[in-house]
Amino acid sequence: MAKKSESELSPPILNELGDRDLGIASILGDLPLYSFQVEINTLCYQITEIFEKHPLLPGAILVENGDFFGMISRQRLLEYLIRPRAIDLFLNAPVQLIYSYARTDLLILSDTTSILSAARLALRRSPQLLSEPIVVKMQSGAYKLLNISELNIAYWQIRGIETQLRFENLQTLMIQTEKMASLGRLVDGVAHEILDPVGFIWGNLTYVTDYTQSLIELMGAYEQFLPNVPEEIAALQEEIEFNFLKQDLPRALDSIKNGAERLKNIASSLQNFCHMDEVYPKPADLHAAIDSVLLLLKSRLSGEVKIVKNYGYIPPVSCYIGQLNQVFINILGYAIDGLINQEVNQKFDQEFSETDYLNPVQTLSKSQIYITTTIISRSGEMPDRLDDRWVSIKIKDNGAGMSSEKLAQLYASFSGNHRRVEKETSLSVSYWIITAKHGGEFLMRSQPGEGTEFEILLRVY
């Protein structure tokens, strides 16, 4: 076989990517990759000369008539060449011969594989293969080599970024928790100050109603026993519209009573919502907590969104009720915003399509939020086990829903690996409260056109 000169071998090419910043979503294609392919009939000494000139080259891609055949690393090739009599046997032989002895399991990954996933796969290899380069298959169909040291450096850089983001996320959660605690103390004080005068009004309304009724009865007795009313009194009765006053005064007192009762309920709901949690969880009525939150959100629900409650029997649940109130208001607020935006878009479409008789806008059903609570068992074999009972709280809307990609992005936002918008932050805080603080589960289900359902699962102890 005629020997090929070194000039016939294409020199290795390294794709230098400059100062590209690495992040959580970085892929293998973002790293420096070597492109060095040789035919399997290439002589070993020719490859060793290339390795000598390029000390960072991790290996060579072997091809047969242009098709991928395998990979031999620098380390494997040199390990066989330093064996006794190996130079006489292999140095002037085709690389295919030494590859038949030095062949190992290859780790072949796509260039779109994330760096984090690739590093985990590389670390799972057997100890003797940990230093072997990785074969990267490009989308163009070409094969390139990745030095394992480059992968490790990138992996630890990204892990540092990930740790920093988690630290920032923890700081954000701590700051938000402290803000909520401070706001809770402030609102609790305001609610207490509201309840004091409301208590005075509420307490005296009963007496005022009784006094008013007594005075009306007294005036009726005067009219019965003194039918001839002096002109001055008759003129005064006409001036003040006495007949109307007798009918309207009880209604006015009832309105004042209803307003005071509503104000009292709102202030009580504020106190319940801003309830300061104890060091340890305590049993709480979740239905009362949900009703308190709905009362606070009533101004946003009037005329726009209808609440349908399907409460089942659930026992008091040991929890941090103040934090659960925050979860309920986050989820309900998220659902209300989505439904209101949907109605606004619907009205906008109707206004601009009034003249389009061929394509009328389909009228959507009234916006509704369904709240369902029940006790479930998650043990298939023994469904009546008391230690495996869970409270299920489902909050579902009949809105536009979301795609699987959007749902995946929301779940990804819970991990703290990237910065989030305000709504996603509120949901991630809710996820953290349910899973980390209560040991429960926070689930989301959604399909385009079928609305979104949030389910909270809390264990009953």
Q: What does the alpha-carbon distance between residue 125 and residue 127 come to, in Å, rounded to a whole number?
A: 6
The CB density around residue 392, as the number of other CB atoms within 10 Å, is 18
Residues 90-106 pLDDT 10s: 778 888 888 888 788 88
The answer to whether 36 touches 57, Cβ cutoff 8 Å, is yes
Structure tokens at 231: 């002109």
pLDDT score at 275: 60
Residues 257-308 pLDDT 10s: 888 888 887 777 776 666 655 567 888 889 988 988 888 787 777 667 888 9
The answer to whether 453 touches 446, Cβ cutoff 8 Å, is yes
Average pLDDT of 111-126? 87
Q: Is the pLDDT of residue 447 over 80?
A: yes
Q: Which of 15-24, 292-301, 419-428 has the highest mean pLDDT?
A: 292-301
- What pTM does this model have? 0.51
Instruction: Give every CB contact of residue 348 below 8 A, 6+ residues apart in sequence.
Output: none
Q: Is the pLDDT of residue 373 over 90?
A: yes
Q: What angle do CA 8, 12, 18 make, to 5 degrees?
A: 150
Residues 122-142 pLDDT 10s: 888 888 888 889 899 888 888
DSSP-derived secondary structure for 276-310: PP-SS-EEE-HHHHHHHHHHHTHHHHTTT-EEEEE
- Distances from the Cα of 256 to the Cα of 195, 204, 242, 262, angstroms: 15, 11, 20, 10
Q: What does the alpha-carbon distance between residue 222 and residue 217 come to, in Å, rounded to a whole number?
A: 9
- Distances from the Cα of 290 to the Cα of 52, 110, 255, 297, angstroms: 73, 49, 26, 11
Would you mind telling me the total number of residues written for the chain in this entry?
461
Beta bridge partners of 39: 63
pLDDT score at 420: 47
How many C-alpha atoms does 322 have within 13 Å on its Cβ side? 18
Alpha-carbon radius of gyration of the chain: 38
Q: Is the pLDDT of residue 221 over 80?
A: yes
Count H helices and E strands in the chain, helices first: 13, 15
pLDDT score at 423: 47
pLDDT score at 320: 85
pLDDT score at 20: 60
